[in-house]
Amino acid sequence: MLVNLISAKMSVGGIVALSITGVVLLALIIAMIIIVPMKLWFRALVSGAHVSMPKLLGMKMRKVDIKLIVPSYIMARKAGVKISVDELETHYMAGGDIDRVVKALIAAHSANIDLSTSQAKAIDLAGRDVYQAVRTSVVPKIIETGNISAVAKDGIELIVKAKVTVMSNMHLQISGASEDTIIARVGEGIVTTVGSTDSHKMILESPELISSTILEKGLDRGTAYEIVSIDIADIDVGRNIGADLEVARADADKKVAQAKAEEKKAMAIAAEQEMKAKVQEMKALVVKAEADVPRALAEALRKGKLSVEDYYNMQNIQADTDMRNSISNKNEETTPSNKPLRG
């Protein structure tokens, strides 16, 4: 009887313990379902890219975007790319673009391009579009330059537009120069090539001179691209720079000559004014001297050095001189047509 009582008590305790354990497990399962998205876990499981519940829970607690990491991981594994969830998570936490890296790795794997996961992550963190770089390695990219002005030796301006076909150089995607450097170097090559020709007609007749000369210079050195070809898309004849320079030079010479003439004119006017001032000064001296004559005559009469008769004789001579001067001036003013006719 006692044994039956003890066994009954133990069975009741076991049932309670099992019940509590079941409740705790059920609560844990419900919590896991709430915290961890079961759809992603199940999707990864059936896709052959299994991700454990603890790993998903850990990423959730680290505030990693599981909805981005898990689909990218599934896509990479299905494409045959060897990459781990931890690598994707660390790249995400470093601020990288998971989607572009995974797509770049898949594209490189499909095209048999040697691109490691660490290299793809480094290119992405360097700010380059790694997926676009892989695509450009497979399908060349065309870069168009703007209108580039160049002047030949004959002074004629040519406006050239070129198309540069490039492929990505995956080994220099991090440290290599960008497209802007390619465009700048091609523009420099166009200006140099056109400027070294004797006549612009040579370029118009053989545009390939520009392409061949530029390609020989190795303009893609140190850049993230390899130049496949350079094609001249358009050439237009611009201004006659040589003639414009000659006109500008002639205009400048004209202005210099005008300035020198104005300077000489100003100097002549100044000299004329100076001479007029000197004439006025001499006239003033003459007037002053004439003013001294009456005083000198009076002084001579007073001292007896000059008699009254001498004075009157001098006056008569002066009057006669004035009359002769007057007659002479009238004769000079009279023209032959004004002379009276004799009958």
What secondary structure does DSSP assign to 16-48, as a single string?
A: HHHHHHHHHHHHHHHHHHHHS-HHHHHHHHHTT
Q: Digits of tens for pLDDT over the chain (343 positions)? A: 544 544 554 465 666 666 777 777 766 666 666 666 677 777 777 777 888 877 887 888 788 888 888 888 888 888 888 888 889 888 988 888 989 999 999 998 888 888 888 888 998 888 888 888 888 888 888 889 889 999 888 888 899 999 999 988 888 888 788 888 888 989 988 999 998 888 888 888 888 888 888 888 888 888 888 888 888 888 888 888 777 777 788 888 888 888 888 888 888 888 888 888 888 888 888 777 777 777 777 777 777 766 767 767 777 887 888 788 788 776 666 655 444 444 3
pLDDT of residue 331: 66
pLDDT of residue 333: 61
Euclidean distance between CA atoms 286 and 92, whole angstroms: 110
- Residue 250: CB atoms within 10 Å: 10
Provide the 3-class DSSP secondary structure of residue 223: strand
Q: Which residue has the tokens 């040519």?
A: 158
pLDDT of residue 1: 52
pLDDT of residue 162: 92
- Residue 115: CB atoms within 10 Å: 21
DSSP 132-188: HHHHHHHS-EEEE---EEEE-TTSEEEEEEEEEEEEE-GGGTTTSB-HHHHHHHHHH
Euclidean distance between CA atoms 139 and 185, whole angstroms: 23
The answer to whether the CB of 213 falls within 8 A of the CB of 193 is yes
pLDDT of residue 32: 60
Domain boundaries, the chain: 35-138, 141-240
Q: Give the ranges where the chain is alpha helix by DSSP (H).
A: 2-35, 38-46, 53-61, 66-78, 85-93, 98-110, 117-125, 130-138, 179-195, 200-205, 208-216, 241-303, 308-333
**DSSP state for residue 339 in the 8-state scheme:** S
The answer to whether the CB of 137 falls within 8 A of the CB of 168 is yes
- Domain 141-240 superfamily per CATH: Band 7 domain (3.30.479.30)
**What is the b/e burial string over 165-176, where b = at least 16 CB atoms within 10 angstroms of the residue's CB?**
ebbbbbebbeeb
pLDDT of residue 159: 92
Residue 156: strand pairing partners = 240
